Amino acid sequence: MEPLSWTGALGPWLVPTLEAALIALALAALAHPLALLAGYRMGPGPEASRSGPGRAARLTGGLLRLSLWALAAVIVAFLIGGLLVQPDAKGILGRIATRLWPVWLSLGASFALVALFRRRLGLVGHLLGNPAGAVGLALVMFWVFAALFADQIAPFDPVTDVIAGMKNKPPGTPLPPPGDAAYGYYLLGGDALARDVFSRAVAGARVVLAIAPAATVFAFMVGITLGLPAGYLGGRLDILLSFLANLVLAFPVILLFFLLVTPEIVAMGVPTYMAGALFLFPLIFLTILWNSRFRTRPPLRAALIGATLGLGGWLYAGLAWNADPLGIVSMPAGVLIVFVSVVFVNAPSVFRIVRGLTLDIRTRDYVAAAQTRGEGPWYIMLWEILPNARGPLLVDFCLRIGYTTILLGTLGFFGLGLAPESPDWGTSINAGRGLLQFVPFPPLVPAVAIMSLVLGLNLLADGLREESLKE
């Protein structure tokens, strides 16, 4: 079989269009700021922007917009064309687009749903009207669905399918005969161990998206449970907690990782103890949450706290101490150490943010009103202050998932924690960086994957921030 070209039968049509659009975009992107600046110099002040920029700037602006649209159209044409043409006319891009069909389907369905109910969805509905937010949401959802449907999308097993002769092969290489495998090509080439780069990138999404959001949630639980009392009660507690938080924050992250994520530390059982402490916080948090809210309704309170402690205790025993009596819940040691250290690094930042927000919100009259009805401090913290901090916290949550993804990549990049054959993106970059100058694809693909996911999260956060400010 012939190696695949990137674009297949669409190439002769679309590649020149793409090049033209790119050149136009580059020209416009260079010219537009210059034209704008020149315009400002002539007529600064708020009127200048209202009466519109100069004619030159309007021209370059139009060109910029036009070329952006053209670029987007070409990319969409690649995807749709790739999906639609005859199987043997498909290039690499077309085939990838075809493999990803569950993602396109779900993405289309979820966006249609959001658009349909945008009025009732509040903030999420507004996001669609915000270009940055919509693009961010799309990127994030893309990876979420890719992770969900990884088994359907990936043509090969990311770890065990090692096919002789495919080591360090370029994208689009057909499998060597006898070719009895399920799929005929390594779409994005093979890595140094002759595994399929495309499959590993898709499977990597699953690892990353399983750890990063969960770790961020835990970091938030810890940060909120400690930040609220530090900000609200103040005093010695605040001094102590702030000192500890600053202590952790003053450690360069990389140093902490090199100190914490080592086989020696794991041998000492340190991660288990840390998990034992850190994983307690969600339990504490929920228990206090229910207790403070429903102290006036004892039966409901007892039910909720009982459920929390029962279910939470079971998960806690399994996750932190690997002692699930039913043997269902557990976490591999490598994942646990990675998880714990990422939570440990993030929690102090969340603590600082929550503490700052609390200091601000506690001066409001509705907090004083709660005090004058004799509410306890935890009720005030959790039910009066926390809900009103949700805007900035939500924005930070999105940013922090992105940051956590970067941290996971960093750990993988240094080969810390996760197993060397793990398909996660950081580990893949680490495995491929040695031959980077000669076989760029094995590290390049996961690098682009990390970038697009984090970019999506950051854009989403930016959109959320903008929209919540407009409210």
Partner 1 sequence: MTAPLLEIDRLSIAFTTRRGDIPAVADFSLSVATGEAVGLVGESGCGKSTVALGVMRDLGRTGRITGGTIRFRGRDLGTLSEPELRRIRGNDIAMVYQEPMASLNPALRIGRQLMEVPRLHRGASRAEARDLAREMVADVGLPDPDRILNAYPHQLSGGQQQRIVIAMALMSRPALLILDEPTTALDVTVEAAIVDLVKGLGRKYGTALLFISHNLGLVLEACDRICVMYSGEAVEQGPVRHVFDRMRHPYTQALFRSIPLPGADKTTRPLETIPGSFLMPQDRPRGCNFGPRCTHFKAGLCDAAAIAMRPVPGADDHQARCLRFEEIDWQSRPPAPEATAPGEVGAPVLTVSGLRKYYEVSSGGLFGRRRRKLVRANETLSFEARQSETLAIVGESGCGKSTLAKVLLGLETATAGQVLLDDREVQETPIQKRGPRAVADLQMVFQNPFDTLNPSKRVGGQILRALEVFGVGATRRARRERMFELLDLVRLPRDFADRMPRQLSGGQKQRVGIARAFAGGARIVVADEPVSALDVSVQAAVADLLMDIQRTRRTTLIFISHDLSIVRYLADRVMVMYLGHVVEIGSTAQVFAPPYHPYTEALLSAVPIPDTRVEKTRIVLEGDVPSAIDPPPGCPFQTRCHWKDRVPNGLCARELPPMVELGSGHRILCHLSAEALGEMEPVFRLAAE
Partner 2 sequence: MAGFIIRRLGVMALTALSMTFIVFLLTNLQPNLEKLAKTQAGARITDAEVASWIDRNGYGAPMLTRYGEWLGVLPAPLTTDADGRAIGGRCLRGHPGLAAEEVPRFCGVLQGDWGYSTKFRRPVTEVIAERLQRTGLLMAWAFATMVPLALIVGVLAGMREGSALDRGLSTLSIATTSTPEYVSGVIFVAIFASSMVGLKWFTGSAKSAVEGATFQNFTLPVATVALYGMGYIARMTRASMAEVMTAQYIRTARLKGLSFRAVVLRHALRNALIAPFTVIMLQFPWLLTGVVIVESLFVYPGFGDALVQGAQNNDIDLLLAVSVVAVIVVLATQLLSDIGYAALNPRIRVA
From the list partner 1, partner 2, none, pick the one residue 414 interacts with, judged by a Cβ distance below 5 to 8 Å according to partner type: partner 2
In this chain, which of 161, 191, 196, 384 binds partner 1, going by CB under 8 A? 384
User: What is the SS3 assignment for 269?
Assistant: coil
SS3 of the chain: helix, strand, coil, percent, to 5: 75, 0, 25
Least distance between partner 1 and beta carbon 375 (Å): 7
Beta-carbon contacts of 299 under 8 Å, excluding residues fewer than 6 positions away, are none
Least distance between partner 1 and beta carbon 291 (Å): 14
Q: Is 119 in the site for partner 1 (CB under 8 A)?
A: no
Contacting residues toward partner 2, per CB under 8 A = 29, 32-33, 36, 40, 44-45, 48-49, 61, 132, 243, 246-247, 249-255, 258-260, 262-265, 267-268, 402, 406, 409-410, 413-414, 426, 429, 433, 436-438, 440-441, 443-444, 447-448, 450-451, 454-455, 457-459, 462
Q: What is the C-alpha separation between 273 and 321, in angstroms, rounded?
A: 8
Angstrom distances, CA of residue 398 to CA of 114, 220, 372, 385, 457? 19, 12, 36, 21, 6
Q: Is 368 in the site for partner 1 (CB under 8 A)?
A: yes
Residue type, 454: V
Q: Which is nearer to partner 2, 132 or 181 (CB)?
A: 132
Least distance between partner 1 and beta carbon 372 (Å): 5
Q: Is 296 in the site for partner 1 (CB under 8 A)?
A: yes
Q: Which is nearer to partner 1, 2 or 47 (CB)?
A: 47
| Sign of the CA dihedral running 41, 47, 49, 52 | negative
Beta-carbon contacts of 162 under 8 Å, excluding residues fewer than 6 positions away, are 193, 194, 195
From the list partner 1, partner 2, none, pick the one residue 372 interacts with, judged by a Cβ distance below 5 to 8 Å according to partner type: partner 1
Least distance between partner 2 and beta carbon 209 (Å): 16
Q: Which is nearer to partner 1, 55 or 297 (CB)?
A: 297
In this chain, which of 5, 168, 262, 388 binds partner 1, going by CB under 8 A? 388
Q: Which is nearer to partner 1, 101 or 366 (CB)?
A: 366
Q: Is 325 in the site for partner 1 (CB under 8 A)?
A: no
Least distance between partner 2 and beta carbon 32 (Å): 7
Enumerate long-range contacts of 3-6, CB under 8 Å, 24 or more apart: 3/170, 3/172, 3/173, 3/174, 4/90, 4/91, 4/92, 4/95, 4/171, 4/172, 4/173, 4/174, 4/185, 4/187, 5/91, 5/92, 5/172, 6/91, 6/92, 6/93, 6/171, 6/172
Q: What is the C-alpha separation between 371 and 369, in angstroms, rounded?
A: 5
In this chain, which of 34, 244, 390, 420 binds partner 1, going by CB under 8 A? 390
